[in-house]
Amino acid sequence: MPNPSPVLVLNGPNLNLLGLREPAVYGTETLADIEALCHATAAEHGLRADFRQSNHEGVLIDAVQEARTGHLGILINPAGYSHTSVALRDALAAVELPVVEVHLSNIHRREAFRHHSYVSAVAATVICGAGAHGYALGLAHLARLVGAAR
Ligand code: CA2
């Protein structure tokens, strides 16, 4: 396909540290490995992954708002902001695009403060505990939601 439609793949704070620390919790893959997986999976489904990471809440919110013009959907790992950010949740609700939330770890098997995500109520789908493969699952499902799945 010459010009595949973009989906936003957005990664929250500290995910730039993947593979460097806490491999027992988050696996050994780096964020660059996950980015390569996302590019390959998106291409398999006729999409293009616009892959980003930020440690800053406002930068993530700006990216969500900007996705309204030109992106078909959003795959997001909000990381620590899952459990704290009403503002990120509001931005995702306002953008009116299909949202898939992904977590590497199973947040429900971890500390109680990770059991609630503000994002989940505005996500079509939530995937957790599948490690990096969760991104591939999430993109395949997002392709279905936006009508691009093959
Ligand atoms: O399991 C996930 O994907 C999380 O979204 C990861 C977040 C955590 O706050 C969520 O509860 C669940 C943490 C982001 C990565 O943090 C790292 C910290 C140290 C080393 C490597 C990654």
What tens digit of pLDDT does each residue of 116-134 get?
999 999 999 999 999 999 9
- Residue 72 near ligand 1, beta carbon < 6 Å: no
User: How much is the pLDDT for 22?
Assistant: 85
Mean pLDDT of all residues in 63-91: 98
- 127: CA distance to ligand 1 center in Å? 14
Rounded CA gap, 3 and 46, in Å? 9
% pLDDT > 70, the chain: 97
Known catalytic residue: 81? no
Rounded CA gap, 95 and 136, in Å? 23
**110 backbone dihedrals φ, ψ, rounded to 5°:** -110, -160
User: How much is the pLDDT for 150?
Assistant: 57
pLDDT tens digits along 11-63:
999 999 999 888 888 989 999 999 999 999 999 999 999 999 999 999 999 99
